[in-house]
Structure 1
Amino acid sequence: MLPMWLIGIIFILLIAYGILIRFYTKSWKQMPEQITGKEAMDDAPTFSVIIPARNEATTILPLLESIKKQSYLLEYVEIIVIDDHSEDHTAALVQKFRAENQGRLTVRLISLKEDALNSYKKKAIETGIAAAKKEWIVCTDADCTVPVQWLQSYAERIRKAGPVFIAAPVSLIPTPTSVKKHRLLYIFQTLDFLTLQGITGASVYKNVHTMCNGANLAYKRDTFYEVNGFKGIDTIASGDDMLLMHKIWKRHPQKIQYLKSKEAIVETAAAATWRAFINQRIRWASKATRYEDKRIFGVLLLVYLFNCSFLLLLVMSFFNVCYFYAFFWFWIAKTFTELPFITSVASFFDKRQLLRYFFIFQPLHIGYTILAGFLGSFGKYEWKGRVVK
C-alpha cells in the first residue's frame, strides 16, 4: 500500500506544475506573431552585431556570410568579432572576410587581451560594446547563422514597441555527426530546447520573469551602460544573457520585449555528443543560484522538485512494485500536461514531426534535469576548452 501522504505531495506538485504549463501555453498562443515586411523605415535603428569567438574556424564564415545577406541596409550595420584567444585560424578568416568586403560592410576584429578570467564571454562582449558605434547591440554566437530578415525584424519590433531589450527565438539544427551517429540525441535536445524557447517567449510576453538566449538578443547600447553593464555579475562564468536581462528589467520593467517572428529565428548547431550536451546544460544551470529574479527561481524549484519526485518513486519501486505503477501514471500525466504547450511551440518552429518521440523521452528528460540541476549548482564544467565553475 502506498503512503497517501507521499502520493498527495506528488499530486500537489503535479497540479502546481500543470497550472504553470497551462499558463505558459495560453501566453504563448496569445502572443501575436510578427510578420516582417521589407519596407524602408524613417529613423531606422542602427545595429552593432557583437560576436564573441573562440576556436570557431569551421563556423565563423557561414555566420558572417548570413549577416552579409541581410535585407536591412548594411550602412546601418557593423560587425564586431572579438577573438577570445583562439588557437585555430578564426582570426585569419575574419580578416580575410573583412578585406573581401571592404567598402560594402563594416567588419572589425578585436583580440581579447585579458587572461585568467572566469567569464571570458562577458569580457569579450563588454570589449565589443566599448568599440561599438551604433545605437543597438545585437548579440549572437559564432556557431550560428541568421535569416535574411533578421535585423529587419528587430527594426520593426523597435519601431512598433519602443523596447530597450529584445529576446528572440533560437532553433537547433543537426550537425553531420548528430545525423549519422547521434540522431536520438538531436531529437531529445531539440524537444528540450523547444520547451525552453516556448517558456522564454511566454514569460517575456507576460512579464512574469526574465528569460532569453544569448544566441539571439538585442539591447540599446546606452541601456547597457545605464545598468553598469556586467558589473556585479562579471565573476559568474555564464549569464551574459539572462543575468544582464534582469538588470535591465529592474530599470525598465515595461520595456522588455519578445520577438515572435519566424523571420528572426537564429539557427545554431545542436550538441554533437552527449558529453557536450550535458556540459552545455550544466553551464546553463550553473547561473540558477545567482538569479536575482526570484520569480524564475520559484519556477525552477517547482520543476526540479516535481522531477525529483519521479526519481523517488523509481527508487522506491525496487522495494514495492506499486511505486512503479505510480511512476508510470505520473509519467503519462506529465506528458499530457506538456503536450499542448510543446505542440504549439513546435508548430512555430516547424518541428512537429519530432513530437512522436515526446512520450518515450520523458524518463530521460527527468533524469537529465535532475543531474544538470545538481551539477550546475555544485560542479564544474568544460566550455570552449576551459574548465570553469
Structure 2
Amino acid sequence: MAQFLLFLLYFFIVITIIQVIYYALLFGKFSFSKTQENKATNNPISVIVCAKNEEENVSNYIPLLLKQNYPNFELVLINDASSDETLEVLEGFEKNNANVKLIKVENNEAFWGNKKFALTLGIKSATHDNLLFIDADCYPDSENWITEMSSQFSEQKTIVLGYGAYEKEDGLLNKLIRFETLLTATQYFAWAKFGKPYMGVGRNLAYKRQEFFNTNGFIHHMKIRSGDDDLFINEAATSRNTAINFNPESFTYSKAKNTFRDWIMQKRRHISTAKNYKLFDKTQLGLFFASQFLFFTLSILLLLFQFQWMIVVSIIVFRYIISWISLGYAAGKLYEKDVMYYYPILEIMLIFTQLNVFFRNIFSKPVYWK
C-alpha cells in the first residue's frame, strides 16, 4: 500500500508540473502580455450577422451596429429561413439604411438547418474583402468595435480573434459560464500568441474574404452542423496570419443562459465540435483537461490517506497560486476579475460539468442550429 501511495505521489507531482506549464508558460503568453497597440484604419469592411428566429434580438442589437463610429462599412444581414418576424424586422433596416444589405435564405433540403450554408451566401454577397462577424444575439460594447477589430488587419494578419463576453448577472451559474468563457479565451488567445491558433468564436471574429476561399469555405466540415467559427479557424489560422484583439472596446456581449440545462446543451455542441480539431489541438486540450481532473482527484485521494500530507498540501497550494495569478491577470485584461473570487469552486464545478457533457455526448447527439 505504501508503495502504491508513493507512486500516486510521484504521479501527482508530474500532473502538477503539467498544470504549471500550462498556466505559467503557455497561458502566461497571454496573461502576462503587454497592453496592445492598435493602429487606426479606415479600410472598408463588411459586418456579417446571421439570424434565425431572432426577432427580438435583431430589433435590439442591429441599431447598435448601425451606430458604429466607422467611416466605411456595410452591414450584411442574413435571414436564415426564420419562421418568426425576423425577416420583416430586417427588411425594415434594409429599407431605412443605405449601407444594409439583406440576404434571404430559403430552406435548402441538402443544407437544412446548417448555418454554414447561410453564412456562405452572406460572405459571397459581401461587398468588401474585410469581413467581421457577430452573432444575432450579441452586441458590441463600444461604438468603436469595428475600428478596434479592423485595426489588427495587415498584409500578413488576415484573421483577427476577438473576445465574446457574457453580461454579468447575479447567481452562481452566471459566474460559472463567465469563468468557462474566460478560461477558453485565455487558452485560444495564448495559443495564438504561441504561434498555434486553434479556434475563435463567431460572437467576435474577423477575417479577409481570401482566407475563406483559400480553405474552400466550410466545405471540409459542411456536414458538421456546428463549427462555422472554430472549425474554420482551426483549418485556416496559422502563426503568420492570425492576430488577437483584447482591447476592451473590441469586446462583444450577449446574455448567458439562465438555466443549467440550457447551458449544458450549449456546451454539448461546443465539445462535440472540438473532436474535429487537428490532432495537436485535440491532444493539448485533452491533456489540459485530463491534468485538471487528475490533479483534483489525486489531491483528494492522497489527503484521504493522509500520505505525506504536508508535501501534498504544499503542492496543492503552489499549483493554486500559479493558476490563480495567471488566470487573474487574464481576467483583468478581459474585465472578468469578479469570477476569480470564486475560482477554486468554479474550477471544480467546470471539471465535472465537462466530464458530464463528454459522457452524455458519447450516448446521444446534441441539438444544433435552430
TM, length-normalised to structure 2: 0.88
Question: In structure 1, the residue corresponding to 2:152 is in which secondary structure?
Answer: helix
Q: CA deviation at 1:72?
A: 0.4
Match of 1:121 in 2: 115
Residue among 160, 167, 173 paired with 1:166: 160
The answer to whether 1:45 aligns with 2:73 is no
Contact 1:165 1:257 in 2 (8 A): yes
Question: In structure 2, the residue corresponding to 1:246 is in which secondary structure?
Answer: helix
Question: In structure 1, the residue corresponding to 2:225 is in which secondary structure?
Answer: coil
Question: In structure 1, the residue corresponding to 2:122 is in which secondary structure?
Answer: helix
The answer to whether 1:304 aligns with 2:319 is no
Contact 1:78 1:107 in 2 (8 A): yes
Structure-2 separation of matches of 1:112 and 1:198: 38
Question: What does 1:217-296 correspond to in 2, within 5 Å?
Answer: 217-249=205-237, 253-292=239-278, 294-296=279-281
Deviations 1:248-293 (A, max 9, x none): 23xx54111112211111112111210111111111111222112x
Match of 1:106 in 2: 100
Match of 1:130 in 2: 124
Decide whether aligned partners of structure 1 residues 119 and 113 sit closer, same or farther in structure 2, where only a CA change above 3 A counts: closer
Question: In structure 2, the residue corresponding to 1:361 is in which secondary structure?
Answer: helix
Deviations 1:26-57 (A, max 9, x none): 311454433557x6x5xx32222221212212
Match of 1:61 in 2: 59
Decide whether aligned partners of structure 1 residues 338 and 83 sit closer, same or farther in structure 2, where only a CA change above 3 A counts: same
Match of 1:18 in 2: 20
Match of 1:81 in 2: 77
Match of 2:144 in 1: 149
Residue type of the partner of 1:206? F
Q: CA deviation at 1:113?
A: 2.8
Structure-2 separation of matches of 1:328 and 1:365: 22
Q: CA deviation at 1:123?
A: 1.3
Question: In structure 2, the residue corresponding to 1:79 is in which secondary structure?
Answer: strand
The answer to whether 1:363 aligns with 2:348 is yes
Residue type of the partner of 1:271? K
Structure-2 separation of matches of 1:327 and 1:373: 29
Question: In structure 2, the residue corresponding to 1:359 is in which secondary structure?
Answer: helix
Structure-2 separation of matches of 1:258 and 1:89: 36
Contact 2:158 2:242 in 1 (8 A): yes
Question: In structure 2, the residue corresponding to 1:215 is in which secondary structure?
Answer: coil
Q: CA deviation at 1:112?
A: 3.7
Match of 1:90 in 2: 86
Decide whether aligned partners of structure 1 residues 115 and 271 sit closer, same or farther in structure 2, where only a CA change above 3 A counts: farther
Decide whether aligned partners of structure 1 residues 311 and 342 sit closer, same or farther in structure 2, where only a CA change above 3 A counts: closer
Residue among 70, 73, 85 paired with 1:72: 70
Residue type of the partner of 2:354? T
Structure-2 separation of matches of 1:331 and 1:192: 21
Q: CA deviation at 1:310?
A: 5.5
Structure-2 separation of matches of 1:110 and 1:378: 36
Residue type of the partner of 2:67? K
| Coordinate RMSD, CA, aligned | 2.8
Match of 2:188 in 1: 200
Structure-2 separation of matches of 1:375 and 1:118: 25
Percent of residue pairs identical: 21
Residue among 181, 185, 193 paired with 2:173: 185
Q: Which runs of 5+ in 1 are unaligned?
A: none
Match of 1:349 in 2: 334
Decide whether aligned partners of structure 1 residues 304 and 34 sit closer, same or farther in structure 2, where only a CA change above 3 A counts: closer
Match of 2:364 in 1: 379
Decide whether aligned partners of structure 1 residues 143 and 368 sit closer, same or farther in structure 2, where only a CA change above 3 A counts: same
Decide whether aligned partners of structure 1 residues 7 and 85 sit closer, same or farther in structure 2, where only a CA change above 3 A counts: farther
Q: CA deviation at 1:100?
A: 2.9
Structure-1 separation of matches of 2:137 and 2:275: 27
Question: In structure 2, the residue corresponding to 1:72 is in which secondary structure?
Answer: coil
Structure-1 separation of matches of 2:11 and 2:38: 47
Deviations 1:212-239 (A, max 9, x none): 1111111111221122111111111222
Structure-2 separation of matches of 1:170 and 1:117: 27
Contact 2:268 2:361 in 1 (8 A): yes
Structure-2 separation of matches of 1:327 and 1:70: 53
Residue type of the partner of 2:323? E
Contact 1:144 1:267 in 2 (8 A): yes
Question: In structure 2, the residue corresponding to 1:166 is in which secondary structure?
Answer: strand
Residue type of the partner of 1:98? E
Match of 1:210 in 2: 198
Contact 1:281 1:372 in 2 (8 A): yes
Structure-1 separation of matches of 2:178 and 2:188: 15
How many residues are treated as equivalent by the alignment?
365
